[in-house]
């Protein structure tokens, strides 16, 4: 039985008036004396005490102010309006302006000068903004306190309980007006502000005290009314029974249970619950009872417990969801019931009941549907159940798609998802995955047959990447809104097919390699190194090649064609070895370096052809037929150099000097024919060596001796010219010498360039050739000697 309360409103007032503490006792005692009639209504209080008491309502203040403005001439109206605008730039400034004007121009307020309107305007017009703010700010604070007093008085229903406070605020307002008018009795604004500070501080405290007293009366009045509503609620609760009692008990639990989380709404006390119940009408209680169907919750719980839900985690999830729904409903109830229940709010609460009922029904249906699905799941063949378990492993793995925001399911959520999808959609998903799984298994079997560890690792990397991308796409599909996008692309199956085909080609290449002899495999290994070398750029294969591409290319060959290429390569290797041996026999470093450079160029050309040969044998066949002669030419030229070096070794230093003299002439492009024309070609250093190579050492010595004799005569002529004392004669002889020397050099170059070795030898060894040049230089020498 609920606790009963029996109180009477008038009796409570009597108790208050007799038993208050001294402060409240004095406050109520003052209410026994009413000096001036005062109209009391709900809302702001309105008095009529000559303009120096309680503030008027806003519209009455404006009307009063308007009447006063209308009573003056137009120029004064303009001054007053401008001052109102100026004061209006400060918070509540215009209201302060009207209050001050009312006080200082009122003859009913004694003890100080009464301003005329003109004097009042003149005084305020002389003030700057700082002085105006000094007036407005303290008076604004008092106005705010008084406004709050009037607001609280308006909320008090028993106006007779605050008559004493009405008298007190009238009295304080009168005293405050006199003090304010006294402050404006000073001619200087500084003195006015000092006077205002003294009075404002005092009366702000007085008005604040009155505000506290008024609030206390309102609090006591509310407490009395609250107790009456609580008592009504207790009576309502006592008479409830059956379903009505069950519904109200449910609501009581929602309001008073401290374990129910809400957004800042604390749990009700028992008195607060009975107050809520007492504020309800009979219609409200009937509506709540009609819409709050508690049996649905019990039925849902029975469906979870009784139904054969084999997945324990799902059962726990459904029970937790059911409990959460109940808590959500109670949480919403508590939040909505914090405010008074009117028709609109009652409808909102009923709507919440309906949503809760729908949620409970959904949980019940889910439990029943999952039982049906588990029965269906048990009837599936092993391979299809395996697919479902695979999909479960993907969509419940938090490591898949977390960076893309994909949903990760718990096991119960996945079970509920399967219920939502239905068997038809699940069969579609299973069918697709079985296709993927078939391609996946076939590809993995082929990859396992690749022998090379690096090559197999490359295929496994591609295989794993495609599996990961498929799993990511699969989880992404299950993260789509409403699961409407559970269609699957075929690109993952196609990628498995491509990986499988590449692996099969690699295995064919490996098998071909393993069918070779050891020395043949060495050749293929060398060919592979050429393929991997990015510095070798063929005409057909310009870039580096991966191991996979190499074995793919190798898989296109049969054993006969591959051995053909191997045979060509072995022949070229022998030729290269012969070439290097020949170059190695060259003694002079510069010549050896030049021929080594030619060998490197020839070898690079061969390697490019070898690289291209993996596309087809044509490039290597062509090289074998034509370009291999590059090595033959190098061998021939290198042997010529060796022969020349041997020739040089057999000559004396004087003979070598003569040969170098000949070389300098035939390789000098500035030596021209007798008519001043350039020869069609000049010998290079190497070509001159090849020219001498056609002669034996005896002939070379003979030629050297001829030119030693000619050079001796030429040198004697130069020395004789140098001994001539007369400068003009010396210059003339020097000109003759230069002219003939050109003839001599041109003649030598002509004999050698335009003749073969044998004819050149015969011409030079002709007695007339040597004597002609020796005699010419001797003649110049003798002429020089004959001069004084």
pLDDT in tens, 122-148: 888 888 888 888 888 888 888 888 888
Q: Average the pLDDT over each of 50-54, 82-86, 473-477 and give the range with the smallest value.
A: 50-54
Q: What is the pLDDT of residue 288?
A: 67
Q: Which pair of structure tokens corresponds to residue 475?
A: 């989880």
Q: What is the pLDDT of residue 714?
A: 92
**Which of 48-52, 185-189, 252-256, 485-489 has the highest average model confidence (pLDDT)?**
185-189
Confidence of residue 654 (pLDDT cuts 50, 70, 90): confident
Confidence of residue 16 (pLDDT cuts 50, 70, 90): very low
More confident residue, 558 or 489: 558
State how far the Cα of 521 lies from the Cα of 385, in Å rounded to an integer.
50
More confident residue, 324 or 205: 205
State how far the Cα of 351 lies from the Cα of 277, in Å rounded to an integer.
19
Q: Of 727, 752, 722, which is closest to residue 737 (Cα–Cα)?
A: 722
More confident residue, 775 or 112: 775
Tokens 């596309």 found at: 615
Share of the chain above pLDDT 70, in %: 74
Q: Average the pLDDT over each of 227-231, 370-374, 539-543, 624-628 and give the range with the smallest value.
A: 624-628
pLDDT of residue 693 exceeding 80, the answer is: no
State how far the Cα of 297 lies from the Cα of 306, in Å rounded to an integer.
14
pLDDT tens digit sequence for 528-553 = 777 777 777 766 666 666 777 777 77
Q: Of 485, 493, 478, 365, which is closest to residue 432 (Cα–Cα)?
A: 493
Provide CB contacts within 8 A for 440, sequence distance 6+. 467, 496
Q: Average the pLDDT over each of 15-19, 230-234, 262-266, 336-340 and give the range with the smallest value.
A: 15-19
Provide CB contacts within 8 A for 287, sequence distance 6+. 346, 350
Confidence of residue 95 (pLDDT cuts 50, 70, 90): confident
Cβ atoms < 10 Å from Cβ of 233: 22
pTM for this prediction:
0.43
Contact 96, 140 (CB under 8 A): yes
Task: Reduce the DSSP state of residue 443 to 3 states and report it.
Answer: helix
Angle at 679 between CA 677 and CA 682, to 5 degrees: 145
Q: What is the pLDDT of residue 241?
A: 74
Q: How many residues does the chain have?
A: 788
More confident residue, 369 or 39: 369
Confidence of residue 33 (pLDDT cuts 50, 70, 90): very low
Q: Of 651, 539, 547, 657, which is closest to residue 604 (Cα–Cα)?
A: 539
Q: Of 673, 602, 677, which is closest to residue 636 (Cα–Cα)?
A: 602
pLDDT of residue 680 exceeding 80, the answer is: no
Q: What is the pLDDT of residue 489?
A: 63
Note the helical H segments in 408-517.
Answer: 411-421, 423-448, 453-477, 491-514
Q: Which pair of structure tokens corresponds to residue 657?
A: 């000097």
Q: What is the pLDDT of residue 41?
A: 32
Task: Reduce the DSSP state of residue 368 to 3 states and report it.
Answer: helix
Provide CB contacts within 8 A for 576, sequence distance 6+. 599, 603, 606, 631
Confidence of residue 734 (pLDDT cuts 50, 70, 90): very high
pLDDT of residue 448 exceeding 60, the answer is: yes
Q: What is the pLDDT of residue 63?
A: 43
Q: What is the pLDDT of residue 778?
A: 92
State how far the Cα of 407 lies from the Cα of 112, in Å rounded to an integer.
82
Contact 334, 262 (CB under 8 A): yes
The per-residue b/e assignment along 301-316, b for 16 or more CB within 10 angstroms, e otherwise, is bebbeebebebeebbe
pLDDT of residue 728 exceeding 80, the answer is: yes
Confidence of residue 719 (pLDDT cuts 50, 70, 90): very high
Mean pLDDT estimate for the chain: 75
Share of the chain above pLDDT 90, in %: 4
Q: Of 177, 193, 237, which is closest to residue 52 (Cα–Cα)?
A: 177
The per-residue b/e assignment along 140-178, b for 16 or more CB within 10 angstroms, e otherwise, is bbbbebbeebbebbeebeebebbbbbbbbbbbbbbebbb
More confident residue, 735 or 285: 735
The per-residue b/e assignment along 713-741, b for 16 or more CB within 10 angstroms, e otherwise, is bbebbbebbeebeeeeebeebbebbeebb
Between helix 22-29 and helix 9-19 the angle, nearest 10°, is: 110
Q: What stretch of H or E contains 350?
A: helix 343-379
Q: What is the pLDDT of residue 71?
A: 54
pLDDT of residue 735 exceeding 90, the answer is: yes
């Amino acid at each position: 039985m609920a606790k009963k309360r029996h109180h009477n409103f008038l009796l409570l007032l009597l108790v208050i008036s007799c038993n208050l503490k001294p402060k409240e006792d004095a406050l109520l005692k003052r209410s026994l004396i009413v000096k001036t009639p005062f109209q009391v209504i709900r809302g702001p209080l309105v008095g009529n005490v000559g303009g120096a008491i309680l503030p008027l309502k806003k519209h009455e203040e404006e009307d009063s102010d308007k009447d006063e403005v209308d009573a003056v001439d137009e120029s004064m109206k303009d001054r007053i309006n401008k001052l109102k605008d100026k004061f209006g730039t400060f918070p509540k400034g215009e209201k302060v302006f009207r209050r001050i004007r009312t006080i200082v121009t009122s003859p009913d307020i004694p003890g100080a000068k009464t301003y005329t309107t003109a004097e009042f305007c003149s005084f305020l017009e002389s003030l700057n903004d700082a002085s105006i703010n000094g007036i407005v700010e303290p008076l604004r604070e008092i106005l705010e306190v008084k406004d709050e007093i009037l607001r609280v008085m308006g909320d008090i229903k028993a106006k007779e309980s605050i008559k004493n406070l009405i008298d007190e605020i009238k009295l304080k307002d009168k005293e405050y007006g006199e003090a304010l008018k006294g402050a404006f009795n000073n001619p200087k604004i500084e003195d006015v502000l000092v006077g205002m500070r003294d009075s404002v501080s005092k009366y702000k405290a007085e008005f604040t005290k009155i505000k506290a007293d008024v609030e206390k009366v309102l609090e006591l009045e509310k407490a009395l009314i609250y107790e009456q509503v609580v008592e009504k609620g207790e009576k309502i609760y006592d008479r409830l029974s059956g379903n009505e009692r069950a519904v109200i008990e449910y609501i009581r639990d929602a309001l008073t249970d401290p374990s129910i989380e809400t957004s800042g709404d604390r749990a009700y006390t028992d008195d607060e619950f009975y107050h809520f119940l007492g504020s309800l009408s009979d219609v409200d209680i009937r509506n709540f009872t009609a819409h709050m169907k508690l049996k649905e919750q019990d039925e849902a719980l029975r469906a979870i417990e009784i139904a054969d839900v084999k997945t324990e985690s799902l059962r726990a999830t459904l029970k937790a969801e059911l409990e959460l729904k109940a808590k959500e409903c109670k949480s919403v109830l508590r939040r909505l019931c914090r405010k008074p229940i009117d028709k609109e709010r009652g409808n909102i609460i009923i709507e919440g009941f309906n949503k809760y009922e729908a949620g409970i029904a959904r949980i019940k249906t889910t439990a029943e549907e999952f039982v049906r699905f588990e029965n269906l799941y048990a009837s599936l063949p092993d391979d299809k159940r395996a697919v479902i378990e695979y999909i479960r492993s993907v969509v419940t793995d938090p490591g898949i798609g977390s960076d893309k925001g994909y949903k990760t399911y718990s096991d119960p959520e996945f079970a509920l998802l399967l219920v939502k999808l239905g068997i038809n959609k699940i069969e579609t998903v299973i069918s697709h995955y079985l296709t993927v799984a078939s391609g996946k298994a076939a590809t993995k079997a082929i990859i396992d047959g690749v022998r090379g560890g690096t090559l197999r690792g490359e295929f496994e990397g591609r295989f794993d990447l495609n599996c990961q991308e498929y799993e990511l796409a699969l989880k992404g599909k299950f993260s789509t809104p409403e699961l409407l996008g559970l269609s699957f692309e075929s690109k993952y199956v196609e990628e498995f097919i491509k990986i499988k085909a590449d692996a099969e080609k690699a295995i064919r290449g490996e098998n071909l390699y393993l069918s070779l002899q050891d020395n043949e495999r060495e050749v293929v290994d060398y060919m592979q190194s050429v393929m991997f070398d990015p510095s070798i750029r063929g005409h057909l294969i310009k870039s580096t090649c991966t191991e996979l591409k190499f074995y793919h290319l190798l898989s296109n060959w049969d054993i006969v064609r591959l051995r053909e290429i191997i045979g060509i390569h072995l022949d070229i290797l022998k030729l290269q070895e012969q070439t290097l041996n020949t170059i190695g026999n060259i003694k002079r470093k510069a010549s050896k370096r030049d021929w080594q450079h030619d060998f490197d160029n020839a070898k690079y050309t061969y390697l490019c052809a070898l690289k291209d040969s993996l596309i087809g044998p044509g490039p290597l066949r062509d090289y074998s037929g034509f370009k291999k002669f590059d090595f033959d030419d190098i061998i021939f030229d290198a042997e010529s150099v060796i022969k020349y070096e041997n020739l040089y070794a057999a000559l004396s230093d004087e003979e070598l000097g003569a040969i170098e003299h000949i070389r300098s002439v035939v390789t000098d492009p500035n030596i021209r024919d007798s008519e001043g024309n350039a020869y069609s070609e000049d010998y290079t250093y190497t070509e001159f060596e090849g020219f001498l190579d056609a002669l034996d050492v005896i002939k070379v010595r003979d030629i050297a001796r001829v030119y030693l004799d000619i050079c001796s005569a030429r040198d004697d002529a130069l020395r004789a010219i140098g001994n001539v004392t007369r400068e003009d004669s010396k210059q003339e002889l020097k000109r003759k010498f230069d002219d003939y020397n050109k003839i001599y050099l041109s003649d030598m170059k002509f004999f050698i360039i335009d003749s073969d070795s044998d004819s050149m030898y015969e011409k030079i060894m002709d007695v007339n050739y040597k004597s002609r040049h020796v005699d010419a230089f001797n003649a110049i020498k003798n002429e020089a000697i004959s001069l004084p």
